Amino acid sequence: MVVDKCMDCHKQCHWSSATVQVVAKYAAKVRSGRMQYACIWLVFCAAPMLLCGCADPPPELETHAVTGTVTFSNGEPVQSGTIDFRSKKDQRLSMNGEILEDGTFEISTIYKNSNLTGAVEGPCSVIVTVMLPGNPIPVIADLPETYDVKPGANDFQIKLPLPAPK
């Protein structure tokens, strides 16, 4: 076993000397000067970087409880739909919830194939998708306000700029 320090992160890296011997044996068989230099580079530069496995794991995600109510402009609750919170810091995260018949919602975050309760801290844009009775096409409201998720419990009252269906 060969032990060396990674040139990028300066952590101890372990890689198999057998792997290096196989690549060196291949390099010895190559007769072309250019290929020989390429193989030597592979043995001494690329192999340690590829095989050291010293990258830090991704940090764990901390979420905070996010609940609330979605209403139409006249105060009536939205009875069906979804609500999406989009982090302005990391838009790759999927943070959403279902709007229940009384207009309430609870946000959860999908991260590393897990469903975490809550949303990440920080400013978020909000998109509400509403299913209106008798209308097969959903109404999508991309709200202009920014909602700031803070540590602890967050309860948002979201008023859509739409009239309630008649």
Same domain, 151 and 71: yes
Whether 129 shows a pLDDT value over 80: the answer reads yes
Tally the domains of the chain. 2
Cβ pair 78, 160 in contact under 8 A: yes
Is 166 within a domain?
no
Is 58 within a domain?
no
Q: Rounded mean pLDDT of 55-79?
A: 84
Is 142 within a domain?
yes
Of the two residues 107 and 47, the one the predictor is more confident about is 107
CATH number of the domain residue 83 falls in:
2.60.40.10
| Window from 3-17, 33-47, 98-112 with minimum mean pLDDT | 3-17
Same domain, 85 and 131: yes
Which residues have a Cβ under 8 Å from the Cβ of 154 and sit 6 or more positions away? 64, 65, 66, 67, 68, 119
Write out the residue range of the structural domain in which residue 17 sits.
2-51
Same domain, 99 and 19: no
Structure-token pair, residue 77: 């609750």
Same domain, 45 and 73: no
Is 152 within a domain?
yes
| Euclidean distance between CA atoms 121 and 151, whole angstroms | 6
Nearest to 160 by CA among 94, 80, 48: 80
Same domain, 46 and 128: no
Is 77 within a domain?
yes
Terminal-residue alpha carbon distance, the chain: 75
Same domain, 89 and 155: yes
**Is this model's pTM higher than 0.75 or not?**
no
Whether 8 shows a pLDDT value over 90: the answer reads no
Show the CA angle centred on residue 28, arms to residues 22 and 34, nearest 5°. Answer: 115
